[in-house]
Amino acid sequence: LGLVIGGFLVRNWITSERGRRMWEGQIIRFPVVGPLVAKFAMARFCRMLGTLLGAGALPMLTCLGLTASWHFIRFVRWQFLLRRVDVRVPARSALRIYMAGGLGTATPAYAGEGLRSFLLSRRYRVPYQASLPVLVLERIQDVAALAILLLLLATSRKDTVLATGMVLAAGVMGWLLYRVARTLGLAPAITATLRSPSAWLLGLLGSLAAWGLAGAILGICAASLDLDTSFADGARIYYATTLLGGLTLLPAGVGVTGSLAILRLMDLGTPLTGAVAAVSLLRFLTVGVSLLVGTVFLIREISPLKNRPRKSHAGHFDQLNEQYRNQFPAHIWDHLMARKIALIREVIGQIPVGTKAGWGLDVGCGVAAHTAALSARGYNIVGLDPALGLLRQAPANGKIPLLQADARSLPFLDGSIDFIYTIGVLHHLDDASDLDRVLGEARRVLRPGGRFIVVETNPLNPVFRFYMGYVFPLVRRIDEGVERWIEPSSWEEQDGLKLTHLKHFTFLPDFLPRWLMQPVLGLERTLEESRIQRLSVHYMAVMERIDA
C-alpha cells in the first residue's frame, strides 16, 4: 500500500511543470532514480508506449524466441549439472520447477532461485546439499560467461577492467565453493563435480551460448525502433550493465541495469526517448516475460504443495497405455520394428516351415508388438512386462502368453529358456544394481549356450545423446529424462555371459517425415557399413551363457 501511495505521489509530482523540467534535465543521470522517473512519468508514458507498439511484431517475436532459447539452454545446463551430482528428475517436471524458480530474479542477490531446491526437495526429496551447490555453480558460470563475452567486445579500458575483474572473481568463487563443499563433507559426487574440468567447461559453454544469444536482444530492440545502435554496441552494453546490476545484489538489477543501459545508449548519441524505449522493450522481453512466465509456473507447482514422489517405471508406462504406440510416427515405428525383428532372427536362427523353435522371452514387451511378430514367424515367445496397462493394450492378447512380471525376478525355472531379448528396456533401470539383478536372472533361466540379446539406444553419438537426454523427454512421453544410457562396450565383461556379436544400426531420427524415408534408407545402410557406424542410433549386443 505504501508503494502504491508513494508511486501515486511521485507520478503527480513528475507530471507537474517543475517535475517535467527536471525530467527533461539531469535527473535521468541518477541510476536509481532514473527508472522510477521513467516508470511514473505519465506525461511521457503514452508517447513511449506508442513507440514500443511501433517496434513491429517480427522483432518482438525474434526477441521472445531468443529469450526462450536462453531459458532452454540454461535449463539444459541445470539438468546436466544435477545429473553430475546424481540427481535425476523427470524432464517435464524439472522444466516446470526451473521456470517457477525464475521468479528468484526478483529477489535480492537472486536468492529466491533457491525456490528450485525447495521444490525439488518437496517433490522428489532431493537434499538441499545436492541442489544448492549446483545453483551456486550456475551463478559462477554466468558471471564468468558474461565477463568473457564483455572482454571479447570491450572497446574501453573500464569495460576491460570490469570483465577481467569478474573473470578473476568467478575463479575465486569457484575455488571457495569447492573448499566449502569439501569442508562440509558433502557427497563425493558433489565435490567431484565441483572440481571436474568437464563439468566446468561444458557448463561454461552452455552459459556462453545462452548469454551470447541474449546479447543480441538490445540490438534488435534498437533496430526495431530505428535507432542507430550496432549489435556489437548493444551486446557490450547488455553484458556490462548486467554485470554491474548484479554487483548491486538488487532484484534483477532494478534501478541500476536499466539506467546504466540508457546512459550508455545516450553516450552513443541515442536520444533520451529512444534509449528509454529500447531499454524498456529489452527489460520487458527479458526480465518482464521471465517473471510473468515464472509466476504461472509457480502457481502450477504450489497447487497443491505436497510430496509427489516419482512414479515407478511400470506406473509411468501404465499411464501411457493407449498412447504408447502413438509416441512415434507409424512409418518410424514400422521401420524400426522390421529392422529389429530381422536382426533378432539372424541371431536365433530361421524356423523351417511346420516346425517350432525353443522357448524365448521378450523382456519388457510393452504392447507385445515384437512378441506377436516373432510368434507369427513360428517362434515360441512369452512376453512379460511389469506395466499391466500396456499388456492389456497388446493386440495379440489371448493368442500368445503374456505375463505381468519383473525382469529382476523372472518366474521361470533354471536353464528353461533358449533365448531372451530385450528392446529399449534396460536404460529405464534405476541403477547398476538393478542391471546386475537382470543379468543374474538372465543367466539363471538361460540354458547353457542360450543367448541374451540386448537392443539399446546408442549413447556414443554426442548429438543424439543430447537429443535423447534433454529434448526427446520433452517432446515424447516414453522417456522421462532420468534414463541411464548403457555404453556398448559395457557388455564385453559380464559374469557368466560372453559377448559374441555387436551390431550398430539405424541413423534415421524419429522425426523424419514419411516422404523422406525412401530417399535416405540407402544412405542409412551405407553409414551402417562405414567407419562411423559406432555413432548409430541403436546397437544390438548378443551374449551367450557360458558355464563358470
CA–CA distance, 516 with 422 (Å, rounded to integer): 29
How many Cα neighbours within 13 Å face the side chain of 191? 10
Mean pLDDT, the chain, whole residue set: 84
pLDDT value at residue 39: 44
CB 524: neighbour CB atoms within 10 A?
A: 18
Mean of the pLDDT values across residues 154-169?
94
pLDDT single digits (tens) 501-548: 999 999 988 888 888 888 888 899 999 999 999 999 999 999 999 875
pLDDT single digits (tens) 106-120: 888 888 889 999 999
Does position 351 have pLDDT exceeding 70, yes or no? no
Q: Which amino acid is present at 459?
A: P
% of the chain surpassing 70 pLDDT:
83
Does position 240 have pLDDT exceeding 70, yes or no? yes
Does position 149 have pLDDT exceeding 50, yes or no? yes
Mean of the pLDDT values across residues 434-448?
93
Instruction: Kindly indicate the confidence band of residue 32, based on its pLDDT and cuts at 50, 70 and 90.
Output: very low
Mean of the pLDDT values across residues 118-130?
91
pLDDT value at residue 512: 86
Contact between 101 and 74 under an 8 Å Cβ cutoff? The reply is: no
Preceding amide of 133 cis, omega within 30: no
pLDDT value at residue 54: 58
Contact between 85 and 187 under an 8 Å Cβ cutoff? The reply is: yes
* 311 vs 370 pLDDT, higher one: 370
Q: For the ranges 267-276, 360-369, 399-408, 471-480, which has the lowest average pLDDT?
A: 471-480
pLDDT single digits (tens) 296-348: 998 888 765 545 555 555 555 555 655 556 667 888 888 999 999 999 999 98
pLDDT value at residue 325: 61
- Mapping DSSP to helix (H, G, I), strand (E, B) and coil, where does residue 107 land? coil
Does position 489 have pLDDT exceeding 60, yes or no? yes
| CA angle (53, 56, 61) in 5-degree steps | 110
Alpha carbon distances (Å) from 406 to 60, 440, 441, 481, 544: 52, 13, 10, 22, 21
* 380 vs 15 pLDDT, higher one: 380
Total length of the chain: 548
CA–CA distance, 310 with 108 (Å, rounded to integer): 32
Predicted structure pTM score: 0.83
pLDDT value at residue 106: 82
Helix or strand holding residue 363 (H, E): strand 359-363
The grid cell for 331 is: 512409418
pLDDT value at residue 419: 94
- Burial class of 457 by CB neighbour count within 10 A (0 to 12, 13 to 18, 19+): buried
Does position 23 have pLDDT exceeding 60, yes or no? no
pLDDT value at residue 40: 43
- 539 beta partners: 456, 504
pLDDT single digits (tens) 442-487: 999 999 989 999 999 999 988 888 988 899 888 887 788 888 899 9
**First CA to last CA distance, the chain:** 79
Contact between 274 and 280 under an 8 Å Cβ cutoff? The reply is: no
pLDDT value at residue 2: 41
Contact between 453 and 420 under an 8 Å Cβ cutoff? The reply is: yes
pLDDT single digits (tens) 169-226: 999 999 999 999 989 888 888 999 998 999 999 999 999 999 999 999 999 999 988 8
Q: Which residues contact 51 (CB under 8 A, 6 or more apart)?
A: 225, 273, 274, 277
pLDDT value at residue 60: 86
Q: Which amino acid is present at 530?
A: S
Query: What DSSP line would sit under 139-150, residue for residue?
Result: HHHHHHHHHHHH
pLDDT single digits (tens) 387-419: 888 888 877 556 789 999 999 999 999 999 999
Contact between 266 and 260 under an 8 Å Cβ cutoff? The reply is: no
